[in-house]
Structure 1
């Protein structure tokens, strides 16, 4: 069985590693060079997209922002999972909001902005404060603005106008204005759906962000009612998209209610913990779903946390002296803010995991991981 992944980054790499025991061969289409490569050895080339499509029994994607002509060529082969429309939905917040409204899934009140009048109407109709997100190409905190006071409006609109003028996406750019949600915490649910509509979901996890970028995910034994609520929303969205593969949904938790923040039609950073903490990791389940194999269980095997390594190409080797700690490097060149790898750590109980997270955080250099140390200390107080 052969799989072509659109995109040749760390997610394609981890899919390839998870595929080896299944006797599935994975190649990746590098959207920059427009060549097919080995995701575990990027210097190894296998030709162009047409040759990659011919090689593949199934085609999937590791990210949303893929040229529409590439998606169309892959979809025409009948091998693309999830569909091009599902992938485009994850890359365009207008389409995303449309799917959420179609499904009747709770999310923040919002308005689409393409003109200065739309901007003024959003402020008037939704009230302040607002968060404004680019419809296309925004990720990891980029392409976003916050307006808390009407006095900021003129300057922010000038910035958005300049953003529109510099846009080079295939579709017209826009901004989605959302009411700022006073949430208790950010959580996410990762799940898999096969072509027959069967699903397997992983536990609801808590996410911690630093400057808009995910830095820690914690998978603990959670409130079952809240997880059931998240799964019901996952099923509605996955069914509406006729989805095949792994899908992630990020939520704001407000009391006992969940509001969808974003959907991601792919394996997801907040699911990396599944490599050590779940019965079947998200990468294997994505390959299973897209190649027609039965899905594996998403059951939590043991409480597990993930720490993102951002902009650092090494961490103290002492972290490996902590029991049940695993390092996952992506083989990238060092660059400030870049996702270079992650650390997974596990324990037998929630309390033990939180203590171990704090222990590992203390071993990491404070200059690069100070916020994680603070988060671990606060989490420890709850257990």
Structure 2
């Protein structure tokens, strides 16, 4: 029986283990915390990702390794790859861990990106601000996710004077400047996007490539709030997005599932970032697609044929942040599905999600309206309802 090792024991590892059970797979999860929620469904090895003794123990007990979050040290993945197959490859992980390397790769592949600049000093920040202008966002190059490690430089309306810009630059540098030497910084132009979209795609060991339908996403405070699939976009725009994802996967010799996050502005797609793993915006595929992102990721890393990515009607995923609401209104819907990650409540923490699925846009909009009203989550469901009815 094949044992899959997963570095990282969060909800993504948990859902991978659940998806792999019907395939007869065993799992071993390695995490730094004994409380990792994937440990509720798979054996858990607690250890530091940089501890070679712990990594050696892990490698000796598995047949293939993958990971459930992109901040697993790339050097640990490289160390493991000399002893056991690791997918996606450590090089792809390394690129995705560095926002500057990621943006430069996008440019090399002719994937449009917002203007950006490498920031190593306060002088670099001033020079980049003069070129890029405000509003813009100063970010850590490494270790940031879900809105963490970011500072928006946006002078008050009507206060875009040089002095006002310097004040927000001072604030940004005070917030992130001390991290410049340790994790690096990048300044990115703010995109007044019309829509946020993502391509959730997969590439097999044999080079085969496929995508799920383009997904539209809405964020609150930098954290995903809702995802709707398929996104209602021009087919030509969707094909452009799929083409970007394919070039990226081939350039990285990627194996597994990944997400390419995109801004749509004035009919043009601009790449935001690559997530080298199963992705929050693909959770709807568990009930809303013929084969989920989790099953297909496992099929890819094991060298098995991919399952169909065909959508089943229309689906909307709602993220639960901080604490879980009452599941009853969702479960009362014929197409309602509930996912509790087994985590204790905590502000800003992803603790679960729900997916509502229906055969038509109208039926899904109605189900979202009922669920949103019953849960007091009208603002969370409203953008998806508007998109479905638009």
The alignment's TM-score, normalised by the length of structure 1, stands at 0.91
Counterpart of 2:123?
117
Q: 1:371 aligns with which of 372, 379, 389?
A: 379
Alignment of 1:3-42 (within 5 A): 3-32=4-33, 39-41=39-41
Query: Can you list the C-alpha shifts for 1:191-221, whole angstroms capped at 9, x where unaligned?
Result: 1001221111001011011111100000036
CA contact (8 A) 2:228 2:384 kept: no
Alignment of 1:208-247 (within 5 A): 208-220=218-230, 222=232, 223-247=234-258
Tell me how far apart the structure 2 counterparts of residues 37 and 209 of structure 1 sit (CA, whole Å): 24
The alignment's TM-score, normalised by the length of structure 2, stands at 0.90
- Return the offset for 1:181: 1.5
- Return the offset for 1:32: 4.2
Tell me how far apart the structure 2 counterparts of residues 306 and 200 of structure 1 sit (CA, whole Å): 21
CA contact (8 A) 2:198 2:281 kept: yes
- Return the offset for 1:77: 1.6
Tell me how far apart the structure 2 counterparts of residues 313 and 229 of structure 1 sit (CA, whole Å): 37
Tell me how far apart the structure 2 counterparts of residues 357 and 226 of structure 1 sit (CA, whole Å): 26
- Return the offset for 1:377: 5.2
Measured at CA, do residues 164 and 84 of structure 1 come closer, stay the same or move farther in structure 2, by a change above 3 Å?
Answer: farther
Query: Can you list the C-alpha shifts for 1:100-154, whole angstroms capped at 9, x where unaligned?
Result: 1221111111111111121111111112221222111111111112223341434
CA contact (8 A) 1:277 1:346 kept: yes
Query: Can you list the C-alpha shifts for 1:138-195, whole angstroms capped at 9, x where unaligned?
Result: 111111122233414344335435534257xxx8422221222121110101010012
Matched, 1:66 2:72: yes
SS in 2 for 1:136: coil
SS in 1 for 2:183: coil
Q: 2:268 aligns with which of 239, 249, 257?
A: 257
- Return the offset for 1:349: 0.9
Tell me how far apart the structure 1 counterparts of residues 289 and 46 of structure 2 sit (CA, whole Å): 34
Measured at CA, do residues 292 and 37 of structure 1 come closer, stay the same or move farther in structure 2, by a change above 3 Å?
Answer: farther
SS in 2 for 1:197: coil
Measured at CA, do residues 307 and 37 of structure 1 come closer, stay the same or move farther in structure 2, by a change above 3 Å?
Answer: closer
Stretches of structure 2 lacking an aligned partner (at least 5 in a row): 48-53, 155-159
Measured at CA, do residues 96 and 60 of structure 1 come closer, stay the same or move farther in structure 2, by a change above 3 Å?
Answer: same
Measured at CA, do residues 4 and 72 of structure 1 come closer, stay the same or move farther in structure 2, by a change above 3 Å?
Answer: same
- Return the offset for 1:354: 1.9
Counterpart of 2:152?
146
Query: Which range moved further: 112-121 or 174-183?
Result: 174-183
Counterpart of 1:336?
347
Tell me how far apart the structure 1 counterparts of residues 41 and 244 of structure 2 sit (CA, whole Å): 38
SS in 2 for 1:39: helix
Measured at CA, do residues 80 and 126 of structure 1 come closer, stay the same or move farther in structure 2, by a change above 3 Å?
Answer: same
Q: 1:296 aligns with which of 301, 304, 307?
A: 307
CA contact (8 A) 1:29 1:37 kept: no
Query: Which range moved further: 371-380 or 118-127?
Result: 371-380
Tell me how far apart the structure 2 counterparts of residues 110 and 24 of structure 1 sit (CA, whole Å): 43
Q: 1:156 aligns with which of 134, 147, 169?
A: 169
Tell me how far apart the structure 1 counterparts of residues 36 and 77 of structure 2 sit (CA, whole Å): 15
CA contact (8 A) 2:139 2:151 kept: yes
Q: 2:83 aligns with which of 77, 89, 99?
A: 77
Counterpart of 1:204?
214
Matched, 1:313 2:318: no
Matched, 1:129 2:142: no
Matched, 1:105 2:111: yes
Number of positions where the alignment pairs a residue of Structure 1 with one of Structure 2: 375
